[in-house]
Amino acid sequence: MPTPAVYKRFDELPFPTQESGLSAQDYSTWPTLAAQDLLPKLINDLEPPAFSLSNPLTELHARATKILDGRIVRMSGSGSTLFTLYDTRDEAETNAARLRLTLGVNVQTVELAPDGAK
């Protein structure tokens, strides 16, 4: 997605009035959460404008969510990628293969570096 267009659309949309209800204390627990518990907390305010600008992106997001049995799929940045999280490499690889086969798109799995890694 072209970043300037997404931000322009963001400025055109009504600003969400709903508070996230998160405090600074909440963030400190995030690294300890299971993927299914962390995913609902990850919010990208650029998803609505990006999805409103691109039917293919919206459809890809919906299809990926359906293939992954309703698992939350998020967008990074202004629309460079879609992602989800898993707690194990096996889960990630299995579901990446499902997406590759079903959607025919490039799917990568990445593993976060452990705390303290450089």
Contact 84, 113 (CB under 8 A): no
Domains in the chain: boundaries: 3-9+33-103
What is the pTM assigned to this prediction? 0.84
Least confident piece of the model among 20-29, 32-41, 65-74: 20-29
Question: How does pLDDT run across 78-97, given as a tens digit for each residue?
Answer: 988 999 999 999 999 999 99
Q: What is the pLDDT of residue 66?
A: 97
What pLDDT does residue 114 have? 73
Q: Is residue 20 predicted with pLDDT exceeding 60?
A: no
Which carries the bigger pLDDT value, residue 37 or residue 31? 37
